[in-house]
Structures are given as C-alpha cells and as structure tokens.
Amino acid sequence: MITGLNAVSEKIDEAFGRPPAFTSQPLSQADISVLDRIFGDVGYAVYADDEINRSVIKNFLINAILQGHLEDEGLELALAAVATPQHRSEMALKMIVHGIGDAEALVRQAAVEFEMVPGQEEQAAEPRQLQRVK
C-alpha cells in the first residue's frame, strides 16, 4: 500500500508541473547562503508546518460552515481547540482524514481531548523546546 501511495504522490506532483519560480531575480551566493540558513533551520520547518495546519483548519471550518455542517457553538469549540501548535497539528490531520460532514463531531471530540472550552485559549500550553533535526 505504501509503495502504491508513493506512486500516486509522484503522479500528483507530475500533474502539478514545476512550481512557480521562487524569485524573479537571480540569486547571489550570499543570497543562497542566507536562504539556506533560514530555510534549513528547524524554526522555519515548524513555522511552515504550522502555516499549513492553519490553512487546512481555516479552509475546513469555512467549508463546514458554508455547507451547514458547523454551527456557531461548534465553531467556538473549534477555535478554542486550535490555540496551540500541537493542537493545530492534531486537528489539521483529523480534518484531512475526515469529511466535512463530520465537522461538528470532530470539533466536539477535539474539545474533549484537548480539554479546551471557548475563552481558554490564553491558558493553552506553550510549545515544547525545539531541537534541530539533521
């Protein structure tokens, strides 16, 4: 199954074609060095993952609201449940594997698992210290 999924992933990448150019200007060696330092840092990887998770969550919630699968109370529970990077990571993964029709149940389950209620966002745990992975 894993090999099959890898092949599907490769076919999807091929269908996307080449990504847009990162920059329209040529890069100097100094530019490349700075970019390597920034994008090679664990902090950037964490930032990029969190931005993706935020996008997944936002799109899922908006879609669920538009399709009538999430009411105001469910939205408030969802907002309380995504207050930390760890919770966003877990919630985004659940949203990817569940359908929009499961939105209300999903956010209620997350609120119980994360022991979060609306208004508790400020009390959410801080992320753990990060270590560089090579």
Does position 118 have pLDDT exceeding 60, yes or no?
no
Nearest to 52 by CA among 5, 101, 88: 88
For the segment 101-115, what is each residue's pLDDT rounded down to a tens digit? Answer: 999 999 888 888 887
Angle at 54 (CA atoms; ends 11, 91), nearest 5 degrees: 85
Taking each helix axis as running N to C, give the angle between helix 72-81 and helix 85-97, from 0 to 180 degrees, rounded to the nearest 10: 130
| Tokens (6 digits) for 10 | 């490769």
Cβ 121 vs Cβ 32: under 8 Å: no
| Tokens (6 digits) for 95 | 């949203």
pLDDT attached to residue 125: 38
Beta strands in the chain (DSSP E): none
pLDDT attached to residue 69: 94
For the segment 74-103, what is each residue's pLDDT rounded down to a tens digit? Answer: 999 999 889 899 999 999 999 999 999 999
In the 8-state DSSP scheme, what is residue 68?
Answer: T
pLDDT attached to residue 123: 41
For the segment 21-75, what is each residue's pLDDT rounded down to a tens digit? Answer: 888 899 999 999 999 999 999 999 999 999 999 999 999 999 999 999 999 999 9
Say which residues have a Cβ less than 8 Å from residue 118's Cβ, sequence separation at least 6.
76, 77, 79, 80
